[in-house]
């Protein structure tokens, strides 16, 4: 919850347009409320919805405000990921189970590691994109094909696991 509110606040701070600031704050409030409801009612389905709502103002900012590559994207990605993971963990760790000592520490360490990897990986991706941005339509098409391929591979993996 605090992560969602903090992320929303940070997005509001970096937004320049007044209308976008208000929209960001509203989105953060809605996302936090949705997350709170989902956690109280133990409905994990609301978590991706809250993440989408939280990220929506940034998508709008990318479309209308920000020109060029925004280097804050890896940080935002790590924050969104942290919010999602913390929400899932709060659902998993709730209950009458007695946890072994060190469980929380290990989880926090894993989350921190994944967040750092996200920032590092995102920065590399952005650097690569910036480097190849001027190479023309072929590179654009290659990127699009890579994105579609990634989605297809994930869909296959998920379908195999859930099927």
Q: Which residues bind another protein (CB under 8 A)?
A: 44-45, 47-48, 51-52, 55, 58-59, 62-63, 69-70, 73-74, 76-78, 80-81, 84, 88-89, 92, 95-100, 103, 106, 110, 114-115, 117-118, 121-122, 125-126, 129, 140, 143-144, 147-148, 150-151, 153-155, 157-158, 161-162
Residue with smaller CB distance to another protein, 12 or 55: 55
Single out the residue of 46, 44, 55 nearest to residue 11, CA to CA.
55
Cβ proximity of 53 and 11 under 8 Å: no
Assigned token pair, 84: 């999602």
Shortest approach of another protein to residue 27 CB, angstroms?
Answer: 15
> Cβ of residue 148: shortest distance to another protein, in angstroms?
8
What is the nearest approach in angstroms of another protein to the Cβ of residue 25?
A: 20
Identity of the residue, 36 or 107, whose beta carbon is nearer to another protein in the bound complex: 107
Instruction: Please give the angle made by the CA atoms of 57, 152 and 79, to the nearest 5 degrees.
Output: 30
Q: Compute the residue count for the chain.
A: 163
Report the nearest approach of another protein to the CB of residue 37 (Å): 16
For residues 36, 37, 42, 46, the Cα torsion angle rounded to the nearest 10 degrees is -90
- Could you count the other beta carbons within 10 Å of the beta carbon of residue 76? 20
Residue placing its CB nearer to another protein in the complex, 20 or 84 = 84
Nearer to another protein, 13 or 97 (CB): 97
Place of tokens 């133990």: 42
């Amino acid at each position: 919850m605090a992560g969602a509110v903090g992320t929303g606040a940070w997005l509001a701070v970096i937004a320049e347009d007044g209308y976008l600031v208000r929209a960001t704050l509203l989105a953060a409030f809605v996302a936090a409320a949705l997350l709170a409801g989902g956690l109280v009612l133990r409905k994990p389905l609301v978590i991706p919805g809250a993440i989408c709502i939280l990220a929506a103002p940034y998508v709008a900012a990318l479309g209308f405000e920000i020109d060029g590559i925004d280097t804050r994207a890896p940080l935002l990605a790590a924050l969104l990921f942290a919010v999602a993971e913390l929400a899932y963990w709060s659902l998993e760790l709730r209950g009458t189970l007695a946890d072994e000592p060190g469980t929380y520490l290990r989880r926090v360490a894993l989350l921190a590691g994944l967040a750092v990897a996200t920032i590092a990986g995102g920065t590399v991706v952005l650097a690569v994109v910036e480097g190849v941005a001027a190479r023309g339509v072929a590179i654009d098409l290659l990127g699009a094909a890579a994105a579609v391929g990634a989605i297809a591979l994930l869909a296959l993996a998920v379908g195999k696991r859930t099927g």
